Structure 1
Amino acid sequence: MISYKDAGVDIDAGNSFVEGIKPFVKSTLTPNVIGGIGSFSGAFRLPSGYNKPTLLAATDGVGTKLRLAIDSGKLDSVGIDLVAMCVNDLICNFATPMFFLDYYATGKLDINSAKEVVSGIAKGCVIAKCALIGGETAEMPSMYSSGDFDLAGFAVGVAEEDEIDRSKFVNEGDILVALPSSGLHSNGFSLARAVIKKEKLNLGSEFEGKTLLETLLEPTRIYVDEFLRLKDSINAMAHITGGGIVENLPRVLPNGLGAKIQRSAIKTPKIFELIAKSVEQSEMDRTFNCGVGMVLVVPNDKVDYVLANSDGYIIGQIIKGSGVEML
């Protein structure tokens, strides 16, 4: 007779993992969470105070940044990345994140590694002020090599229906304010890893006060605090992910309006300068955030307030036209 464990799936290990992550999950719970971990689904009470409450959802992964984390054994921050990539999209539609779910798939469940990842997810949820209300752990020995795993995240937020489409609030003359990224975030790692391989860079070498590996794995910045603090003073937000500013900023621009950006105004971290030694500028522009994690579209009379209440700085302006002009 063959057992499930003989086939490569350890039910007892899965149960032990669930018990082990309960403290992490508990740390994220908010008053609107109904029930706890272990049910067939997560339950969340809709917040009050909305005239036309509308649910918004976002899903994402960590990309090949995960390959770097697995190979190095540094797994404590990719969970933060996972949350960030989802909630940073939600707030661009003026949705306040409410809850998060994760999917963790692996060939053979390593409880300690999985707990490290989920602890990062919980940290990300705390930063994003959303509850981790569920998830799924799949052990699939025929799908993943030993030690490998993949992650997917799912975030749900709530917004006023009339506030979701931000393009209708954008006007000619609005000022573009950049919120700095914490590094590469979770985009462009296939290209970054190719540069590292081509240039034979040492991941353990010192770089800007820490190792190059630590710089690359710096967790994605979560901008929920800034959104909640500034939402009444901004017209739109663009999350700068894959595609860079040139492809993401137009997503919040109405027909007839474009953006003019002063490239020299962008505060670019050294890690992008290192990669740019082997990559054309046009390819950098459409692959990486290049130091700008979020762009805020701000009316002129609110610029001083936004600058005084964030670490943002001016990089450009909304103009007649289309697309993004990098000067």
Structure 2
Amino acid sequence: MSDRPSLTYADAGVDIDAGNRLVDTIRGPVEATRRPEVIGGLGGFGGLFEIPVDRYRRPVLVSGTDGVGTKLRLAIDHARFDGIGIDLVAMCVNDVLVAGAEPLFFLDYYATAHLDADVAGPVIASIAEGCRQAGAALIGGETAEMPGMYGAGDFDLAGFTVGVVEYDDRIDGSAIDENDVVLGLASSGPHSNGYSLVRRIIEASNADLAAPLGDGRTLLDALMAPTRIYVAAVRELLGKATVHGMAHVTGGGLAENLARVVPADKTVTIERSAWQRPAVFDWLAEAGNVAADEMARTFNNGIGYCIVLPADEVDTARVVLEGAGETVFEIGRVHARDHDEPAVRIV
């Protein structure tokens, strides 16, 4: 028999007991997201969810996956763990919402070098909070402890969601018509896009993240504000107005994301003066000396979600959306498109 000491998984840096304790810690927040369609509980090999076919004639499943990008670096560096999970959920559920889908369930992937319950617990609790806001059940996930793959204190996140929409009610932008109006819903900040540039600006300007921004928040608070989840408000609207198209404003900014749903024979003119750009974007532009065009294609500049609908339904939509807590701007209109015009232009 060898004289060498017997090695364990813990010796290699993986603490199975810590993972089990984490499951117990997050059980309450996860259970709070439960929907009637969920079968079983936390800890199975797969999450079970019964498709609510009784509510649909021809159900179409809509799936989405995303992360939170390098905003995660700021969260780790400044121990801001109680909102980053909302970002993760938002980036996924807002995407499937564009098709008119109701998010049904969500799964997360959390990977780290060494599992720290004081970090993982708040992160996963914030994922559960994002699911609660979206009305989606958090039915499973994976916590991976991988020493040697990540630096000390680092972790990464990925999220996955599935929604459902009636085949005849799906929204793809094909119904967008001349004289339709574009409504913009206010963002909570940069959301989860452009943070490699954000971090570069912070470094280059030697920014004081504790400095007041002028809107009642510190710079760090404004940069770490969780991505807004638009599901509840938009789902309320879909039953009360005719929506022709929607866009989630992420990487590429307002013009590039709205262009993804505009028909080839239409163009949208966005009036930049229709809303006031929040202070955090003014700071980024000034501190980084970022050109207007670069700001427009990197950040949402204050508009996180767009809805295109007939002009005679704008008042109804505004009442519904504002009643659901959204700040609404009438930002553009649809026109016939000449062959040399872009799909979206900001003037």
Taking only the aligned residue pairs, the percentage that are identical comes to 50
Distance in structure 2 (CA, Å) of the matches to 1:67 and 1:264: 33
Pick from 264, 274, 279 the counterpart of residue 290 of structure 2. Answer: 279
**Structure 1 segments unaligned to the other structure (5+ residues):** none
> Which residue in 2 is equivalent to 1:326?
346
Which AA in structure 1 matches 2:304?
G
Partner residue of 2:270 out of 261, 265, 272: 261
What does the per-residue CA deviation read over 1:96-117, in whole Å, with 9 as the maximum and x for residues that have no partner? 0000000000000001110000
Q: How far apart, in 1, do the equivalents of 2:276 and 2:62 lie? A: 32
Equivalence for 1:74: 80
8 Å Cα contact 1:127/1:222 also seen in 2: yes
CA-to-aligned-CA distance 1:160-216 (integer Å, 9 cap, x gap) = 123334222111110000000000100001111111111111011122212211110
The question of whether the paired residues in 1 share the 8 Å contact of 2:98 and 2:171 is answered with no
- Structure 1: how far apart are the matches of 2:212 and 2:179? 43
Classify the secondary structure of the residue corresponding to 1:152: strand
TM-score (norm 2): 0.93
**What amino acid maps onto 1:231 in structure 2?**
L
- Residue of structure 1 equivalent to 2:164: 158
Opposite residue 46 of structure 2, the aligned amino acid is S
Amino acid at match of 1:180: A
Could you say which residue in structure 1 is the equivalent of 2:183?
177
Distance in 2 of aligned mates of 1:192 and 1:162:
41
| Cross-structure match for 1:251 | 260
Runs of 4+ in 1 over 6 A off after TM superposition: none
- Provide the aligned C-alpha RMSD in A: 1.0
Post-superposition CA distance 1:257-287 (Å, at most 9, x none): 1110111113210100111111011111110
Aligned to 2:43: 38
TM-score with structure 1 length normalisation? 0.98
2:228 to 213, 217, 221: 221
Between the aligned partners of 2:196 and 2:222, the Cα distance in structure 1 is 16
| Bigger-Rg structure (1/2) | 2
Amino acid at match of 1:81: D
Aligned residue in 2 for 1:113: 119
| Secondary structure of 1:73 counterpart | coil
Query: How far is the alpha carbon of 1:223 from its aligned partner?
Result: 0.2
CA contact (8 A) 1:94 1:163 kept: yes
Say if 2:329 is the partner of 1:313.
yes
One-letter amino acid of the structure 1 residue matched with residue 333 of structure 2:
Q
Q: Residue 198 of structure 1 corresponds to which residue in structure 2?
A: 204
Structure 2 segments unaligned to the other structure (5+ residues) = 1-5, 322-326
Distance across 2 between alignment mates of 1:49 and 1:301: 29
Name the counterpart of 1:101. Answer: 107
Q: Are the equivalent residues in 2 in contact too, given 1:306–1:312 (CA < 8 A)?
A: no
The answer on whether the counterparts of 2:171 and 2:244 sit within 8 Å (CA) in structure 1 is no
